[in-house]
Amino acid sequence: MKREPPHIDPTQSSLVIVDMQKAFLEADGVMFVPQARAIVPVVRSTAEFCRAQGMEIVWTRMSHEGMACGAYPELFPGHFLDDGTPRLCRGTRDFEIVDELQPAPHDVLIDKLTYSSFGRTDLESILRRDGRDTVVIAGIATNVCVESTAREAFALGFRVVVLSDAAATGNTEAHTASLKTISLAFGWVITAAQLRECVARTGSP
């Protein structure tokens, strides 16, 4: 479905950067996603641009401590030690945002225990408090935490924009399919360069 580019007012929008952690972005990380290394400079430059435009920047960090029950350990037994402890936990090196993407002091940091950035976190209340009606989403993994965040944002009544070249997963087909689904039913899928154009048009007289 062909849509007109979204109107993006940076003063009413938040850039939500999902799970750009050492676990996924360093070669010795517990869940290294090699394909995601390519988006690091795009995410960095996009965060710098959005911050300069007055857009709120939100960083999320994933821990599997909240997923140690239910089906998750059965689906992904390799994500846990023999004693049931998740390999990706708060307080570990893997949990940290990768060094190239350190948040600014006034950015928002959300620690989450499930795929969606809204699940059991304060993200919705923070966005409502700050008058943000649009979420621009980047990060890892396109078809898991990024898509889950996009779907829930849409369900909560936020406008959703996903940056196709600032999101990544371990499988090209899964990345493409996820973006098609988001574009079809949940929001806009644009590039980081198109985001700049959308913001520039909003500021034009």
Catalytic residue (one of 22, 50, 94, 145): 145
Return the HEC string of 132-175.
CCEEEEEEECHHHHHHHHHHHHHHCCCEEEEEEEEEECCCHHHH
Say whether 198 is catalytic.
no
> Which of 22, 50, 112, 198 does the annotation list as catalytic?
112
Helix (H) or strand (E) holding 176: helix 172-185
Indicate which residue of 9, 19, 130, 198 is catalytic: 19
Q: Distance between CA atoms of 139 and 146, rounded to whole angstroms? A: 7
Could you confirm whether 112 is annotated as catalytic?
Answer: yes
Specify whether 19 is catalytic: yes
**Active-site residue numbers?**
19, 112, 145
